[in-house]
């Protein structure tokens, strides 16, 4: 039986870089992978973009409310989901890689679990655990509950300690108001901080 993996960390912990490296490793061995991400993540449009400058177009953009199982089955059957009834000679999918998995719904994470367990396809989901108010994203929450394997990807705070929180900023101001999802670069930016630096930056505040 294949497994569902959740590889999580604060921003700038190398999640997208790790995903692209995993895809390369599979393909170097002649195996087929599918890349997916929620369509709410508009950074890079339909690409997974690493802060190191690497980028790759995803195979599946996942809309809110969509069945990930149905999307996976469609793209696994062939490159053109509009021609699913035609026979397409494709290698079986060796791995499904999901970027920004925190933006998925709980039900969509359930689909990832089913793909791993029922279809025997390893699923590697990458994402962050908590938002700028230290609250867990719904997708991350469900991944924490279901994933067979949890792997923390570490990054460092500006002070040199391990960063665990993501602060949202407008200019130099730390903010706690606004939607849970605001993509980096859309009038906001984020900084990964340790607990001590987060409390210092927020004036001792933890969430809304």
What is the pLDDT at residue 90?
72
Confirm whether pTM is higher than 0.75.
Answer: yes
Going by the DSSP 8-state scheme, the letter that residue 91 receives in this structure is P
Put the strands of the sheet holding 149-152 in their side by side order. Answer: 60-62, 32-38, 93-98, 123-127, 4-8, 149-152
Whole-Å CA distances, 139 to 89, 187, 201 = 33, 24, 27
Residue 29 CB contacts under 8 Å (≥ 6 apart), including other chains:
none
CB of 8 closer than 8 Å to CB of 150: yes
d(CA 20, CA 122): 15
What is the pLDDT at residue 138?
94
What is the pLDDT at residue 84?
46
Per-residue tens of pLDDT for the chain, all 208 residues: 899 999 999 888 889 899 999 999 999 999 999 999 999 876 767 888 877 678 899 999 999 999 999 999 999 987 555 544 444 567 899 999 999 999 999 999 999 999 999 999 999 999 999 988 888 999 999 999 999 999 999 999 999 999 999 888 887 788 877 666 665 555 778 889 999 998 988 888 876 5
Name residue, tokens 């993509």: 183
Strands 4-8 and 149-152, by their bridges, are parallel
Catalytic residue numbers, as ranges: 100
């Amino acid at each position: 039986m294949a497994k569902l993996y959740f590889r999580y960390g604060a921003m700038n912990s190398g999640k997208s870089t790790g995903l692209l490296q995993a895809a390369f490793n599979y393909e170097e061995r002649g195996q087929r992978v599918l890349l997916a991400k929620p369509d709410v993540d508009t950074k890079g449009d339909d690409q997974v973009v690493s802060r190191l400058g690497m980028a790759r177009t995803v195979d599946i953009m996942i809309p809110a409310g969509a069945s990930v199982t149905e999307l996976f089955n469609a793209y696994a059957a062939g490159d053109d989901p509009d021609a699913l009834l035609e026979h397409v000679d494709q290698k079986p999918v060796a791995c499904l890689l999901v970027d920004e998995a925190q933006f998925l719904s709980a039900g969509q994470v359930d689909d990832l679990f089913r793909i791993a367990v029922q279809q025997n396809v390893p699923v590697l989901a990458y994402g962050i655990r908590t938002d700028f108010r230290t609250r867990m994203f719904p997708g991350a929450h469900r991944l924490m509950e279901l994933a067979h394997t949890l792997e923390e990807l570490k990054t460092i705070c500006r002070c040199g300690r391990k960063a665990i929180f993501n602060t949202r900023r407008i200019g130099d101001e730390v903010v706690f108001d606004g939607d849970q999802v605001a993509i980096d670069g859309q009038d906001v930016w984020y900084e990964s901080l340790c607990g001590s630096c987060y409390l210092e930056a927020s004036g001792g505040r933890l969430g809304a």
